Amino acid sequence: MEPRIATLLLGDSSPSGSISTLPPLPNSQLRPLLPAPATHRNDIPGVENLAGPRLRPISVRPKSSVPIAEVLNQEAPAAPQQFATTVSHNPAQPQLFSGRLQDILLDPSQERASKRRKVDGQTTPPALPGSENNLLTLPKLPQLPKKTSRRPRIPPLLQGLHQPPPLPPEGRLFPPITGERGGFSKELGDRVGLRSPAAPARNKEKEDHIPGEIAVVLRNSVSQRGEGKGKDRLVDATFYEAANEPNKEIQRPGDTGENSSGKGKTTKRRNKWTNQETQDLLRGVSMFGIGNWKKIVNHPGFDFHQRTAVDLKDRFRTCCPDETGKSRQINSQTTHSRDSNNDLTLATGLQGDEATPATTSVAPDEASSKPKKPRKSRSDKQEKSTEQLAEMGIQEPFARSKRRQRVEFTEKDDENLWKGYKQYGPVWHLIKEDANFGFRHRHPTDLRDRFRIRYAEEYAKAGYKLKTKNTPGPRANEESNQENFEVAPVTANKNTLQEATPIHINSSSTSNLKVHTLSQPLRNSFPTPYEDFSDIISEDDGENRKSPITLSRHIFQWADANPSQAPSMASASTMPTIANLTGDFGMHFLTGADGMHIDPQELRLPVASMQQGVFSVLPAYTPNQQHFGSTIPMNAGPTTVPAPAPGPSSGSMMASASNKQSVSSLLRTPNLPTIVYPHVPMSSARNTMHKLPRPADLLSGVDHDSRQEVQTTGLALDDGLAMGFSLHSHNATLAPLVGGANMNGVGRNLVMLDRERGGLGEDAFGERSLLNSSI
């Protein structure tokens, strides 16, 4: 909201509580109630708290109820008086109370309180004459983590209350603190019109409404503590006061979204659409077209209180269901809907805000087209008739936005995407151009976006940034994934992988594509960019399932002693067999159960020890990978680790045209924190010469992105090993690799082969065909 509105609200919140002194408020700028500051998904507790007058729900501190109760029980007699003083025009006073209140409410620590005040000084707008800006500076309180994902490393800054809560002017007593229900926290939250913690953070300017609401509450509220209806009355007063405009719809108590049962969980208030808003919306759609919600909502000529573009979209769907995508397509005769029965909110002045799909007679085919049970139609139809639209000056059908039709990615698309990625790497336009994949109608960014979602882990591993929300709780599926992948004993002293014992994978792991069957194994084996920095994981580490990496010194001994062997790995003929690998080098190339762990005690164990190991599964990483990796010529020369061209597919799949780009893609991978051991990106490792880090570096988990050290001298990591071992099982040769990185890769590839041979069914990523072709 613009500053002027804030000013108005400020005036409105004038401390005297005298309505008469209030400047006239444009009704359009009065919010009946606090916006629904539903939890913004990206909110980081504490981060935005200094952002000025933006307010945050008070109810975010449910846990504090007990401490509050304790303190307030002692100080309740005093606090109200102070607050009364505060409310009485003394601009200097507010701090007095607010300080104490925040101490009471948020943190017993005076230190924090003092910090709070300091912050206040920075964020509180200059005092306006006759105003009390304290009402504008309600703190935004940290929100509880909505999900129990991982806690941030940096603890959220606890923000205290800047200002006292609005209290009933009569009693000037805090409401009874008797627990959740009817207690202080809840009632206070209600009084200030705050919503549940889950309320999203609204636009900053729009949250400036809050002070005004508080002021309204202050003006109207009466002492209602302890009364079940008090809250409603308060709300009534608030709303009727705030919404005394003809155009303004009044939110009735029953519409407040209050949990009727009065349970502790505060539900969100509904922010009903006013006629004016609806009219603006329709006019906006008429102006900008359907789908340009952002433009509409930001259009200065319209006033959508606290609403977001999504809100507009939902509202429009309610008002003009036949104008929206599917129904519009279904009903080619779009106009009929406008003529259908509508009693409309324009006339009633009271309307629901809920975006109710019009499964009424208006759009029967839409309702019937869905297998779902149609939602019960509501009596107060929201749809706008043509006449009503005409009244708004909307004569013509709404224009559509130019947005392309949304087309879901099918499983086949995902498979092709994966194949394309393996073939071309993250060169999306090439994947798009490849007729085999059927992505002609897609944009390259579509493919990227899809890949980013579908194969997030791989995407991140390739060095690209995931969308913040997309950082899938890697650990969330980690365990289950490990449970799903069951590795049977492998007789490693075979010369061919074909004799490897199949592993069994739970059907669940392959059936559910939603669970990234690619990324899951990766999570087992590879640390995510975040996981690499275990310290960033923060407290979650406490419950971290990841085992520490335990390296055997033998690995490094071998590595240090055999740097010259790197080139030899280029040749499959010189590669040791599995037995050789394990036997000769004393390496246990199967990771521990977590895919990260090599038990030193097992390192020297003969092959049989592998039977106890759980492979780090990297299903999708295997054979196809060569395609992507092979964009670096496999036989490029002695310094390149050429994975033996295994199957016919590798050659055929190679896209020479994309070599350059693919290589660059590899090379441009940023310095992702990766632990070389056991993590060596297969895509790069296979074809890349890696300079081995020093053992100390390995142990310290220092990042060593092998992709950035292509063709450097030193030991070749992984590549030949992985390729020779798993991909090219005919040879059944393994390029011995240094350290666990290779070994890990071997393990993964073994699993892949095993999966393949074990008849585990269609690879979730459609690799089966490639696998078959390459073997």
Question: Where along the sequence are the contacts to DNA (CB under 7 A)?
Answer: 36, 38-39, 41, 146-147, 198-200, 268, 270-271, 290-295, 307, 309-311, 313-314, 317, 324-326, 353, 355, 372, 401-409, 426-430, 442-446, 448-450, 453-454, 464-465, 467-470, 514, 661, 665
Q: Which residue, 200 or 695, has its beta carbon nearer to DNA? A: 200
Six-digit token pair at 306? 């606290």
Let me know: does 1 contact 29? Beta carbons within 8 Å: yes
Q: Which residue, 324 or 744, has its beta carbon nearer to DNA? A: 324
> Phi/psi at 199 (nearest 5 deg)?
-65, 140
Neighbours of 689 (CB within 10 A): 24
Cis amide leading into 678 (omega within 30):
yes
- 345 Cβ contact partners less than 8 Å away, ≥ 6 residues apart: 273, 275, 278, 351, 380, 382
The least CB distance from residue 705 to DNA, in Å, is 14
From CA 230, how far away is CA 83, in angstroms rounded? 21
Collapse the DSSP code of 624 into the 3-class scheme (helix H, G, I; strand E, B; otherwise coil) and give the result. coil
The least CB distance from residue 317 to DNA, in Å, is 7
Alpha helices in 167-274 (DSSP H): 184-191, 209-220, 230-242
Q: Which residue, 230 or 425, has its beta carbon nearer to DNA? A: 425
Q: Which residue, 427 or 570, has its beta carbon nearer to DNA? A: 427
Complete DSSP assignment for 478-532: HHHHHHHEEPPP--TTSSSGGGSPPPEE-HHHHH-SSS-TTHHHHHHHS--HHHH
Three-state SS string over 80-109 comes to: HHHHHHHHCCCCCCHHHHHHHHHHHHCCCC
Q: Which residue, 291 or 747, has its beta carbon nearer to DNA? A: 291
Complete DSSP assignment for 20-32: GGSPP--GGG--S
Nearest to 425 by CA among 686, 688, 665, 682: 665
From CA 668, how far away is CA 684, in angstroms rounded? 11
The least CB distance from residue 356 to DNA, in Å, is 9
Q: Which residue, 306 or 729, has its beta carbon nearer to DNA? A: 306
Q: Which residue, 110 or 369, has its beta carbon nearer to DNA? A: 369
Nearest to 225 by CA among 269, 267, 188, 265: 188
Q: Which residue, 122 or 514, has its beta carbon nearer to DNA? A: 514
The least CB distance from residue 145 to DNA, in Å, is 11
From CA 385, how far away is CA 373, in angstroms rounded? 26
Q: Which residue, 29 or 251, has its beta carbon nearer to DNA? A: 251
- 48 Cβ contact partners less than 8 Å away, ≥ 6 residues apart: 54, 56, 140, 201
The least CB distance from residue 736 to DNA, in Å, is 33
Six-digit token pair at 686? 């296979």
Q: Which residue, 372 or 440, has its beta carbon nearer to DNA? A: 372
Q: Which residue, 94 or 357, has its beta carbon nearer to DNA? A: 357
Let me know: does 186 contact 258? Beta carbons within 8 Å: no
Q: Which residue, 63 or 146, has its beta carbon nearer to DNA? A: 146
From CA 225, how far away is CA 149, in angstroms rounded? 37
Q: Which helix (H) or strand (E) holds 431?
A: helix 428-433
The least CB distance from residue 476 to DNA, in Å, is 11
The least CB distance from residue 36 to DNA, in Å, is 3
The least CB distance from residue 296 to DNA, in Å, is 8
Alpha helices in 106-247 (DSSP H): 110-123, 184-191, 209-220, 230-242
Three-state SS string over 637-683 comes to: CCCCCCCCCCCHHHHHHCCHHHHHHHHHHHHCCCCCCCECCCCCCHH
From CA 421, how far away is CA 637, in angstroms rounded? 25
Q: Which residue, 231 or 516, has its beta carbon nearer to DNA? A: 516
From CA 302, how far away is CA 300, in angstroms rounded? 5
Q: Which residue, 324 or 688, has its beta carbon nearer to DNA? A: 324
Q: Which residue, 267 or 495, has its beta carbon nearer to DNA? A: 267
Tell me the pairing of strands 485-486 and 504-505: antiparallel
From CA 602, how far away is CA 593, in angstroms rounded? 13
Q: Which residue, 310 or 347, has its beta carbon nearer to DNA? A: 310
Neighbours of 696 (CB within 10 A): 9
The least CB distance from residue 406 to DNA, in Å, is 4
From CA 340, how far away is CA 362, in angstroms rounded? 6
Q: Which residue, 417 or 610, has its beta carbon nearer to DNA? A: 417
Nearest to 518 by CA among 505, 499, 502, 535: 505
Neighbours of 16 (CB within 10 A): 15
The least CB distance from residue 547 to DNA, in Å, is 28
The least CB distance from residue 307 to DNA, in Å, is 7
The least CB distance from residue 199 to DNA, in Å, is 5
The least CB distance from residue 512 to DNA, in Å, is 12
The least CB distance from residue 472 to DNA, in Å, is 8
The least CB distance from residue 607 to DNA, in Å, is 41
Q: Which residue, 410 or 652, has its beta carbon nearer to DNA? A: 410
Q: How many CA atoms lie within 13 A of 725 on its CB side?
A: 37
Three-state SS string over 711-773 comes to: CCCCCCCCHHHHHHHHHCCCCCECCCCCHHHHHHHHHHHHHHHHHHHCCCCCCCCCCHHHHHH
